[in-house]
Amino acid sequence: MAKDVMLVTGAGQISMALARRVGFGKKIVLGDKDPKNCETIAKIMNDAGYDVEPFIMDLSSRESILAMIKKGQEFGEIKYLINGAGVSPSQAPIEAILKVDLYGTAVLLEEVGKVIAKGGAGVTISSQSGWRMPQLTPEQDRQLAMTPTEELLKLEILQPDNIRDTLHAYQLAKRCNEKRVMYECIRWGERGARLNDIAPGIIVTPLAVDEFNGPRGDFYKNMFAKCPAGRPGTADEMANIAELLMSDAGAFITGSTFLADGGATASYYYGPLQPGLETGMPENKK
């Protein structure tokens, strides 16, 4: 019996949590640039009864994305996408953040949208960080949403002189993710499929634990201590949202971003995390 095919990018805790929640009974093709990560997560899931095929891929490369799609099509029609791949401001330079998180995500949503099966659904992971930067102009938002993918990195807003640091690049990439979801959901809709975005706050993962113990650890701890939830989130809580978005219960939801940050963004604008307050920190200093 043929199975629905699900593409999952990023062999990390959030991707795995989402895939475990909605991937039972499906053929999962798991893509990651790191062979060890990819094989480790695939084994964990296979040992738990899932059907996972590891695949080495690079989100910054259209050719690599197309190769993963082709691999998925070997097993049947691609009906689901979970995109949890990316790099953080502490992991990579500006150029890599823009190439992976911004350009790569845009290409992935575009290319999967060309083949997604009727009734399909996709979720991409952005970040709360895209909500905490100065508002862009309507034209800049439109450029991030609609510029052909191969021209995205040529936009004036994304040139080195206009980007302060790696955090600013990350914020722009995540803002772009949300705008591309709005744009691409229209094309996905033409094929009878839906596409949404989840913008997590601080989620406990091995990488996050490293951040908690790193040079910006005090800032992160202050952020989740001063947000309404009073704690960081978990990958399984992001899976709760994905379960809604990728099921029939979410059939009327497409082109949306679900901010799930324990209220940290609200606190940043209207509470104790406001820039300039004793408990806050200017966004461009994080």
Strands 27-32 and 51-56, bridge-based pairing: parallel
Kindly give the interhelix angle for 13-22 and 35-47, rounded to the nearest 10 degrees.
30
105: left (phi over 0), alpha (psi -120 to 50) or beta: alpha
Neighbours of 43 (CB within 10 A): 12
Model confidence at 27: pLDDT above 90 = yes
Residues 6+ apart with CB under 8 A from 101: 86, 87, 170, 173, 174, 177
Report which of residues 123 and 279 the model is more confident about. 123
Task: Report the C-alpha gap between 45 and 31 in whole angstroms.
Answer: 14
Task: Work out the pLDDT band at 284, boundaries 50, 70, 90.
Answer: very low
pLDDT above 50: residue 286: no
Per the document, the length of the chain is 286
Average pLDDT over every residue of 147-159: 97
The angle subtended at Cα 98 by Cα 54 and Cα 9, nearest 5°, is 15
Distance from C-alpha of 17 to C-alpha of 248, rounded to nearest angstrom: 19
Predicted confidence at residue 208, as pLDDT, reads 78
Residue 205's pLDDT band (cuts 50, 70, 90): confident
| Secondary structure of the chain as H, E, C letters | CCCCEEEEECCCHHHHHHHHHHCCCCEEEEEECCHHHHHHHHHHHHHCCCEEEEEECCCCCHHHHHHHHHHHHCCCCEEEEEECCCCCCCCCCHHHHHHHHHHHHHHHHHHHHCCCCCCCEEEEECCHHHHCCCCCCHHHHHHHHHCCHHHHHHCHHHCHHHCCCHHHHHHHHHHHHHHHHHHHHHHHHHCCCEEEEEEECCECCHHHHHHHCCCCHHHHHHHHHHCCCCCCECHHHHHHHHHHHCCHHHCCCCCCEEEECCCHHHHHHHCCCCCCCCCCCCHHHC
Residues 6+ apart with CB under 8 A from 8: 15, 18, 19, 23, 28, 29, 30, 31, 81, 82, 83, 84
pLDDT digits (tens, 9 = 90+) for 37-61: 999 999 999 999 999 999 999 999 9
Predicted confidence band at 211 (pLDDT cuts at 50, 70, 90)? confident
pLDDT at site 89: 85
Average confidence score pLDDT of the chain: 93
55-83 residue pLDDT tens: 999 999 999 999 999 999 999 999 999 99
pLDDT higher than 70, residue 7: yes
Please report the pLDDT score of residue 285 as a whole number: 38
User: Which has more confidence, 88 or 264?
Assistant: 264
State the average pLDDT over residues 85-91.
Answer: 87
